[in-house]
Chains A and B, each alone.
Chain A
């Protein structure tokens, strides 16, 4: 077997959290049937966590190229605003979804152009859209919260297919597709090469700039789809608050999942687990009744814990404490 997978630590964290909740209240794990679909806390975690999972998927690739995309939260707001305005204008669902995806692609292209072609620092380049994008979203909805009355649109986030929640199914399908596209072809390797050493990979014949730009475009598209889910979830486009701080949750998920912020290696499975870990943690706070003012503290502690465990230095130090177990 190859070296210890980085996914192991977030998985352990997730298992520990689930155990903690189950010990506190066994009802946490209970899944029942209600009106012909599954109903329970684990289903909530999957449904609520699906948006972060989606945003974090694109973020994984961007971070793997050595960059970061801070604009995803604003892109979520833009895509939601586009959906609301189009649906209110009586346009079809297909056109609405295409437009939201298009908005995400466009936003990603803008970031890609700035970072890959013009060489702007990723943090600065995406910060521009992060700030301007929210203003743009408010402009689209004219500063109002627009209510969406479309059962078909809402189905995407709150519906059930054969008793299973639709949003997580969609996201899992996207994860699988992305995994196959990256790991069954050389594309994943190219992204890691560019993240590891852009100059060397260019000399080796890779179109480094194009690969980088593609990562941002993919990330923008993911954020656009997450915007659709966010708007469908609450049947409204809230340009002020939609996607707020989502970039941070996505970056947490990616980092906790074992993708290095320095770029050069990534784990899609790890990101999925990381996103679920964060959502489970939020739900745990509600479940244990932790006062909201101190709820961020355990979240921070867990993230520190998992990232420390992943660090090579800590690993060696721990290995030094138990030399025999490491050798075995």
Chain B
């Protein structure tokens, strides 16, 4: 390969910068949305624990569910001259001015969890998120294999309009479209809540009676609520009604091990390792994938008991 002198200098400079960075602790600012759910708490925890493990000086800011708090946090990170900024944006738009400031200060920004809309794609280095769409597809594929492509499904949706609910619903519908025997006979929102899941499932059971073969829930909380409703109706969850769910929180995996949920697809909140690996790569000047997703696994009767002791959330 032909290397020109200027390219060598560039490499040297980057090497030098990397050496400097490894000498002084890396300073990273992380603007979190808030602490609205157990998933979010696990997400923050992972970022903090992994930073401590790697000796990174993490400036953590809790946005308390407000974009203006997050913007203020970003400005303060820029003023503190952090090495990189990680942002979990609360909403999709309105980030351009502050991201431009970060770019001018030469600080790379990594977007996690939810995506943003911007006119200038160069304003952030890359996006690392959860692939809600893949989760829904995995659930559909597992179900098709398990049931041989036959069964009447009731669906418990998440909060209407939210990205995870939209994507998990669409992906699942596309996934089962190949199997005419699999039919969604009813779909209502349980608002991602345990109470909601129980209440809606009670209504489904009264309305459709014994013809329900399968329950697809957009998260474990709703599935766990629905299990109670199924038990109270005198049926056996996991046997009389096959249950497929998403999230794989510890309690959900426990329910899989107990045979009450048949399968739960993980939505991994432990972003820490991947995010810091990416930050290191960006700072070292390597090209990173524009859009990458945290790896999600699937838990069913075959692997849930073994996975249980390792669940961190």
Contacts and interface: CB of A to CB of B under 8 A. Distances in A.
Interface of A: 25, 27-28, 34-35, 39-41, 44, 48, 138, 143-145, 147, 158, 230, 233-236, 238, 240-242, 244, 282-283, 285-287, 289, 291-293, 295
Contacts of B294: none
Contacts of B36: 240
Contacts of B195: 230, 233-234, 241-242
A211 to B, nearest CB: 34
15 contacts: A25-B207, A28-B206, A34-B233, A34-B234, A44-B203, A48-B199, A143-B35, A158-B232, A230-B195, A234-B194, A238-B193, A238-B221, A286-B200, A287-B207, A293-B160
A292 B38 contact: no
B261 to A, nearest CB: 15
Contact of B206 (A41, A282, A295): A41
B180 to A, nearest CB: 21
Given A293-B161, A295-B189, A241 B202 contact: no
A147 B227 CA distance: 14
Given A44-B202, A234-B194, A293-B161, A240 B38 contact: yes
Interface string B205-242: 01100000000000001001100100011100000000
Contacts, number: 75
Given A41-B203, A44-B203, A283-B203, 7 more contacts: A34-B233, A34-B234, A144-B38, A286-B204, A292-B187, A292-B188, A295-B189
Contacts of B232: 158
A319 B17 CA distance: 83
Nearest to B195: A234
A198 to B, nearest CB: 36
B103 to A, nearest CB: 35
A139 to B, nearest CB: 11
Q: Max chain A CB contacts within 10 Å: which of B41, B161, B195? A: B195
A127 to B, nearest CB: 15
Contacts of B221: 145, 238, 241
Contacts of B157: 292
A233 B251 contact: no
Contacts of A234: 194-195, 198, 224-225, 228
A211 B292 CA distance: 60
B186 interface: yes
Q: Is the interface of A mostly helix, strand, loop or mixed?
A: mixed
A240 B37 contact: yes
Interface in B136-192: 157, 160-161, 186-189, 192
Contacts of B186: 289
Nearest to A143: B41
Given A34-B233, A143-B41, A292-B157, A287 B228 contact: no
Contacts of A289: 186, 188
A259 to B, nearest CB: 26
B203 A287 contact: yes
Contacts of A41: 203, 206
Given A145-B251, A292-B188, A236 B160 contact: no
A39 B233 contact: yes
A233 to B, nearest CB: 7
Contacts of A240: 36-38
B160 A44 contact: no
A240 B40 CA distance: 11
B229 to A, nearest CB: 9
B236 to A, nearest CB: 14
A122 B165 CA distance: 36
A35 B198 contact: no
A292 B251 contact: no
A241 B194 contact: yes
Nearest to B165: A292
A287 B203 CA distance: 7
A242 B38 CA distance: 13
A228 to B, nearest CB: 14
A244 B41 CA distance: 18
A144 to B, nearest CB: 7
Contact of A286 (B41, B161, B207, B234): B207
A235 B228 contact: yes
B194 A292 contact: no
B251 A147 contact: yes
Contacts of A40: 206
A31 to B, nearest CB: 10
Contacts of A147: 251
A44 B35 contact: no
Contacts of B41: 143
Nearest to A235: B228
A66 B200 CA distance: 35
Contacts of A292: 157, 160, 187-189
Contacts of A144: 38
A35 B160 CA distance: 36
Nearest to A279: B199
Closest 6 CB pairs of A and B: A292-B189, A286-B203, A293-B160, A234-B194, A143-B41, A292-B160
A241 B206 contact: no
Contacts of B37: 240
Contacts of A34: 233-234
